[in-house]
Amino acid sequence: MSKSKFNKRKYAGKILATVLLLAAIPVFAQGGAAALTNAATEIKKYWDPVKLIIMAVGGVVGLIGGVRIYNKWSNGDQDINKEVVGWGGACLFLIIVPQFVSSFFG
């Protein structure tokens, strides 16, 4: 008989602890507007170095692509137009995207 009372107290304690824990969760919640403002501020802080890295990587990749196209052109490859259009599109993409994102985040 005392064993069943012990089990009831044990389960009642667990249920009470769970209810108190669940009741305390909203206290730790942050407002959505504050979180979005905080995230935008962090992105603005890191964007200039990231933009510089994107431009540097784009320059290296563009140089490698230019050498590859020159090599194909020197060897007389007939498929040079497709390569030039793809290379030019990639260069335009790397120039336009950082500017677009900069204007988006102010």
Tens digit of pLDDT for each residue in 30-78?
Answer: 677 877 888 888 888 888 888 888 888 888 988 998 898 899 889 888 8
Residue 40 Cα to chain centre, angstroms:
12
Note the residue count of the chain: 106
Please give the model's pTM, rounded to 2 decimal places.
Answer: 0.54
- Residue 88 region by backbone torsions, left for phi larger than 0, else alpha for psi between -120 and 50, else beta: alpha
Distance CA(81)–CA(87), nearest Å, equals 10
pLDDT in tens, 80-106: 888 888 888 888 888 888 888 778 766
